Structure 1
Amino acid sequence: MKFVNYLYQGKEKLGVVLENKIISLDDVFEFIKETCPLNMLEFIEGCTDERIKKIEEIISNKNFKGLNLTEVKIAPPIPYPKRNIMCLGKNYEEHAKEIRMTKITDTFIPDAPIYFTKIASPAIGYDDEIKFSYDVTNQVDYEAELAIIIGKDGSNIKREEVEDYIFGYTILNDVSARDLQGTHKQWFKGKSLDTFCPMGPYIVYKDEIKFPVELNIKCTINGQVRQNSNTKNMIFDIPYIVSDLSKGVTLKAGDIISTGTPSGVGMGFEPVKLLKDGDIIDCYIEKIGNLVNKVKVI
């Protein structure tokens, strides 16, 4: 199932996407005879495989009218994560090789995951604008990534048990100010400017994306393909990432782990192809969908 956070008639709601329609979880939970969770985080925290099966059963057996996707505004699935987004740097070999900005990093292939975090307060959703000022940064770049949504608390998780701790997957665009990365000699601020965390459009429940996770991932700018790879090309795969991160660190339900970007970022071209006012960024991941955003220079 694809779970969505959406705005309808001025209210934020949760739903399930079926083809081009949204079934409100408010309606589904009436048949469960429980109060619908207030937001995606609350839903994830209280969810189990049994709950998901019950929701699927109710939707299959009841004739819900639903809403057309065109009638609603798709919001980011988790606008205000409880903690910073946990991210991986240089997790695709070709991307590690293409980075030539020595002020940010060198071109070595990592032998251990490179972790950093970015702020999403809030994340932005499908069709929202990525905004920045040239007074702050002149080198804004895109990074299409597969993001993992943790489904339950856990620490010291064994690799063979990782899937049990995952709720689902979404798309995240790790928008980055390359000049700020170089100036500050680290990645936090350059990746944490306001609107620099587009996410969505949906969270796909884990049972639709089986291990090993091998999904086509692509990014186009104004229709031109820039990134085109598959998540099987990650240096560190999902079982490794979640298990390694959880060693001595308790992962919590609703945590978001962004797994790195493939080659084709703007800074990897000669000459560079950085984002400019009016650009349309379309991040696509197989089985999840498209996350589309427009650039607005303010």
Structure 2
Amino acid sequence: MKFLVHQENNETKVAINDNERVINLDQLINDAQINDINYVIANIDAIEQKVERANVEVKTKNAADVHYLPAVDPSTIICVGLNYRKHAEETNAPIPESPILFNKFKNTINAHNGVVPLPKKSQEVDYEVELGIVIGKHCKDVSVDEALHYVAGYTAVNDFSARDLQMKTPQWMLGKISDGFCPAGPNLVTKSTITDPNNLTLKTTLNGKVRQDSNTSDMIFSCAEIVSYLSEHMTLSPGDLILTGTPEGVILGDPEGERVWLKDGDELVVEIEKIGQLKNTMVDEK
């Protein structure tokens, strides 16, 4: 099942995307909290069942016509770096022996069709298509075999990165935390729909040209391994968002003299199988 968040008459609505027909949940379920995406995430199994049992006449909208909001509203955003073998190879980095972790913050969250400001202090902004894991239950010290039971679903993310800021110090955070640098959407797809997150095609298109084209099977650490590893070190909570790394094809992987960094007006589309296309436009606010 696909969920999305959109704005309708100045109100936030959580809806079902049923073959590009948008159906607001409050038409199907009588619950005062049903338009809070984190409430939906924390009760995802029960809400899926209620939607499937609902037998009412509903109004629908075309998915192309809605004003999208971010598909998630996380309090915690954790990112995994260099988690695709070919991406590590293209950047001449050694294959990690354990997950490389860094973080983003709420100011980075952006939506499908949202604009992404180019930071004033950076000249080297890059894209990264990533599968986002959305946690559905509190989990701590869970095994790899159990890990995906604690997942609510998955979304597409573009992990924008200011490479010159990222490489200023050994810690990458500065290059990852600019406003709007974490668009997520357009849909949140439940784990009942995506049963194997490590067998999904994903790609990035820049101004109509395919730049990244890979499969999540190239991950060094699988989604289950990532969730388990994180849960050994912290408690994960419903709504937490985990970015699982990007495949080869980023600008940083081009030969140094041939890198053309993102600029004003560039149009990015990141696409993940079963989730959909997440579109964003770069805007120069310098």
Q: Normalization by structure 2: what TM-score? A: 0.95
* Residue in 2 that maps onto 1:42: 39
Distance in 2 of aligned mates of 1:99 and 1:118 = 22
- For 1:129, the equivalent position in structure 2 comes to 115
Aligned residue type for 2:79: C
Q: Select 1:54's aligned residue among 50, 53, 60.
A: 50
Q: Aligned pair 1:94/2:90, yes or no?
A: no
2:224 alignment counterpart: 239
Q: Deviations over 1:270-291 (max 9, x none)?
A: 2113111111100000000000
Structure 2 unaligned spans of 5+: none
Give the CA deviation at 1:185: 2.7
Q: Is the 8 A contact 1:8 1:71 kept in 2?
A: no
CA positional deviation for 1:121 = 1.9
Q: Distance in 1 between matches of 2:108 and 2:164?
A: 23
Distance 2:125 2:233 in 1: 34
Q: Which residue of 2 aligns with 1:205?
A: 190
186 and 16 in structure 1: CA distance in 2 versus 1, 3 angstrom threshold: same
- SS of equivalent residue, structure 1 residue 137: coil
User: What corresponds to 1:285 in structure 2?
Assistant: 272
Contact 2:200-2:215 within 8 A present in 1 as well: yes
CA distance in 2, matches of 1:127, 1:165: 29
Give the distance between the partners of 2:166 and 2:282, measured in 1 at CA: 20
User: Aligned residue for 1:66?
Assistant: 60
Q: What runs of 5+ residues in structure 1 fail to find an aligned partner?
A: 101-106
What is the rounded CA distance, in whole Å, between the counterparts of 1:272 and 1:265 in structure 2? 10
SS at match of 1:246: helix
Residue identity over aligned pairs, in percent, reads 39
Q: Deviations over 1:36-60 (max 9, x none)?
A: 4341112212x152331121221xx
Distance 1:137 1:242 in 2: 32
AA partner of residue 230 (structure 2): L
Amino acid in the other structure paired with 1:25: L
Question: Match of 1:295, as an amino acid?
Answer: M
Q: SS of the counterpart of 2:196? A: coil
Q: Which residue number corresponds to residue 259 of structure 2?
A: 272
**Does the 8 A contact of 1:15 with 1:25 survive in 2?**
yes
> Please, which of 175, 178, 182 is the counterpart of residue 193 of structure 1?
178
Q: Residues of 1 paired with 2:90 and 2:44: CA distance?
A: 41
Letter in structure 2 aligned against 1:39:
D
Structure 1 match to 2:98: 112
Amino acid at match of 2:116: I
Mapped partners of 1:212, 1:281: distance in 2? 23
Q: Which runs of 4+ in 1 moved over 4 A?
A: none
Deviation of residue 122 (structure 1)?
A: 5.2
